[in-house]
Structure formats: structure tokens, C-alpha cells
Amino acid sequence: MTVLIPKLPLAHGIDEALDWLTLHGAFITRAFSHFVSILIDSLVHGLLWLPPWLLIVAVALLAWRTAGWRVALFSLLGLLLLWNLRLWSATVETFTLVLISTMLAIAIGLPLGIAAALSRRTSQTVMPILDFMQTMPAFVYLIPAIPFFGLGAVSASVATVIFATPPTIRLTALGIRQVPADLVEAADAFGSTRRQKLFKVQLPMAVPTIMAGINQTIMLSLSMVVIAAMIGAGGLGGKVWQAIQRLEPGKGFEAGIAIVILAMILDRVTQRIGRKPPIKTAK
């Protein structure tokens, strides 16, 4: 049976809207892009200016402080391997991209998550948008990102932020909602203002859940680096992308393993930060 209803011009509409936005909004996004790319470049240069061994030792120490000696040892050996494989600068680029994206995601996600936890209406508006952001294939974001932010790392990080922010928002909201009702009541009963209640009771108690959200955001950002390489983001993703185009499985695996090592270090370290139980002993 032939379909008689004409196809809705959805794609056309979206294109039109994006064109309009590009025309009238691109100067803002381009300025933003300029600023972020300077930030990324200087961070990458700064980190590369340091001798790799120093950075490796610093990371290992951080891992030891937060996550124990096993993770520290793993970080040390893993990063030495990356250095040896001549993937150091690519690793630093990827790390920087993840760092910037995660910071942007937290800057957006934390306030939104708090707002969603405190207001039912905000939550009802935000949650469906989050579903959309998370389920839309990440590639699709790359296409409009280019006219707004240009080819390269900034577009990649913007697409990454869109894809990776939802867990931070969701788990921040969840963490605050999960604060037991009687604690919230106690805060009220002693005359806390809304702000005091939020900062003295709700947020401190939500920290472990929020950290779990941030951890997921970091992992999602890392998973975007290969995709982002398609618009010239460089880094370890770039190496993988190169290997795909040149059919070099060995190089592909090298870069892939590097991503896995980086992911594991970031995961173990950030997982522990929020969960450190406060232990003080009474006399």
C-alpha cells in the first residue's frame, strides 16, 4: 500500500532552524569557541612542558592518596607504558579534553541537578530533555557543532558535554532527594533558611551520589573521544581514527589500550573521592 500522507519536512525544518541560529548566533558561539580553544591549547602546552615522569609520579601519588597503593602502582606502570609507546602527547590532549568537558558538564549539571531536586516543575521539564540528550546517537551532535564552533577540539568538547552531562544532573537530583526526610525536617525545625538547608544538610549528604554522577560523566566523555576525533579533535581518539582509515590494527590497539588505561585511572580515582568515609575516633 502506498503511503498517501506526505512526509513531514522534519529534516528540512531542523536545517532551517540551525541555519537561522548559525546566522544569528554563531558570532557568540565562535567567540566562546575561541576562548575555549585557547584554554585547551594552553593547558595541553602547559602539561606537555612538564617532563612526563614528573606528571606520572604526580598522578601516581594522587592515586595513592585517594585510592590506595594498588591503583597507584597501576597508574605508574600504565602511564609509563603510554610514554614508552610514544603516545604521551596524545594522552595529554585526550586528558585535557576530558577535563575541560567534565568541568563544563559539572558547571552546567550541578546547578541544574539542584534545581531539579528542589522544584518539581524544573524536574518535569529537564528529565525528558535528558532522555533526549542521552539516547540521541552522539555522532549527530557533531554535525551542527561544526558551524557553531568550527572544526577541532571545541566542537568535540561541546558535543561531549551534551552527551556526558545527564548523569551529573540526574544523580545530583537523586542525591538531594534521597536525603532522609527527618534530616530535612530537623534542618527546618531549627530554623534553617533554604540556602542553609541546601549547603549544610542536603548537598553534604548528597556528595557520594553526586560523585558517582561525575564519575559517569567522566567515563562518558572518554567514550566520546574517538567519535570526536572524526571532527579533528586529535588525541588518542585521533590515533584510533587514523588507524581505522589506514587499516593498521596494531596501532589501533595501541591507542585503544591507552584509552582503557586512562579510563581506568580516572575511574578508580574519582570513584573514591566522594566515598571516603570520615573516620575519627573518639577518645
Partner 1 sequence: MQKIRIEHLSKIFGPHPEQALRQLDEGVDNAEIRKTGHAVGVADVSFDVEEGELLVIMGLSGSGKSTLLRCLNRLNTPSRGSIFIDGEDITRFDREQLLNLRRRKISMVFQHFALFPQRSVADNAAYGLEVQGVDPVERRARAVEALELVGLDGWEDAWPSQLSGGMQQRVGLARALAVKSDILLMDEAFSALDPLIRRDMQQELASLQRRMKKTIVFITHDLDEALQIGDRIVLMKDGRVVQIGTPEEILNKPADAYVERFVANVDMSRVLTARSVMGRARALAFPQDGPRTVLHKMTEGSDTSMLVIERDHTLVGTVTLDALDKAVSEGRQSIADLIQRDAPTIGPDVPLTEIINLMAVWPYRLPVVDEDRKLLGVVTRPRVIQALAQNSTTKTTAEAAPTSAAA
Residues that bind partner 1 in the complex, under the rule CB under 8 A: 180, 182-183, 185-193, 196, 200-201, 204-205, 207, 278-283
Q: Which position has the grid cell 575541560?
A: 100
Q: How far is the CB of 212 from partner 1 (least distance, A)?
A: 16
DSSP state of 178: T
Q: Taking the complex as a whole, how short is the minimal distance between the CB of residue 268 and partner 1, in angstroms?
A: 23
Indicate the burial class of 16 (C-beta count within 10 angstroms; 0-12, 13-18, 19 or more). exposed
Q: Specify the residue, 54 or 282, whose C-beta has the smaller distance to partner 1.
A: 282
Handedness of CA 25, 160, 163, 117 (dihedral sign): negative
Cα separation values, 270 from 67, 79, 94, 208, Å: 9, 17, 17, 11
30 vs 272, which CB is nearer to partner 1?
272
Torsion of CA 276, 105, 126, 118, to 10 degrees: 40
**Nearest residue (CB) to partner 1, 187 versus 218:** 187
Name the minimum Å distance from CB 185 to partner 1: 6
Contact 93, 234 (CB under 8 A): yes
What distance lies between CA 216 and its chain's CA centroid?
Answer: 8
Of 116 and 206, which has the nearer Cβ to partner 1?
206
Nearest distance, CB of residue 187 and partner 1, angstroms: 8
Q: Which residues contact 52 (CB under 8 A, 6 or more apart)?
A: 79, 83, 88
| Whole-angstrom Cα Rg for the chain | 22
In the complex, the smallest distance separating the C-beta of residue 206 from partner 1, rounded to whole angstroms, is: 10
- CB-nearer residue toward partner 1: 179 or 222: 179
For partner 1, the closer of residues 6 and 180 by Cβ is 180
- Secondary-structure percent of the chain, ordered helix, strand, coil, rounded to 5: 85, 0, 15
Q: Which is nearer to partner 1, 86 or 280 (CB)?
A: 280
- Least separation in angstroms between CB 121 and partner 1: 17
Closest CB 84 distance from partner 1, rounded Å = 43
